[in-house]
Structures are given as C-alpha cells and as structure tokens.
Amino acid sequence: MVSQTTDATFERDVLQSPQPVLVDFWAPWCGPCRMAAPILEQVSALVDGKAKVLKLNVDENQSTASAYGISGIPTVMLFSGGRAVKRLVGVQPAQSYLQALQTTV
C-alpha cells in the first residue's frame, strides 16, 4: 500500500529509511498523477518488505518538492541510503519503477 509522507516526516520516512524508497511527487488536480496512482499501488504490492512507495502532495509540501527541484508532476524519485539516486518524470509503466528498484534491492 502506498502511504503519504510530508515535509515534516520526509527525513524520517525517506532519508532515514533502511529500505529503498520510491517517492511519488503528485497533486490531486493532476490527471497524469491519477493515472500513475494504480501503477504505483501495483509496484508497492510487488516490493512489499523490500522497498517502500510513498506519495508527497506537492501543493501541501512545497519545501520538500522545491528542495528536490520538482518542476513537473508526476515525478517519482528513488531514494537509497538517504540519497536521491534516480528520477522518473511522467507516467511510467510498472516495469520502469521495478527496474529502478532492482539496482538497490
């Protein structure tokens, strides 16, 4: 299941995570973001226990979105060991997210 993260919890949820984390930078008004949501739910189920998938609403959490230079959504970033290691912009097939995770899991 895809959970939420916020500006307040991002460091704990993502940067301090012992597991790799895919973060979906999204907004409720974004049509492509809504298209990506079920794909990311599928990815989350497939990697359960090995990696996490989180969502960050860019409208409500502008500090984190700005810090990572998010200018278009959906943007999904892969974090591992507290570092951003991959960025995927736009709706991607599940396989793209899974391939990105294979380098870290």
Q: Exposed/middle/buried for 71, CB within 10 Å: 0-12, 13-18, 19+?
A: exposed
Q: Which two tokens stand for residue 39?
A: 């794909």
Q: Give me the active site residues, please.
A: 30, 33
Backbone angles phi, psi at 89, to 5 degrees: -105, 135
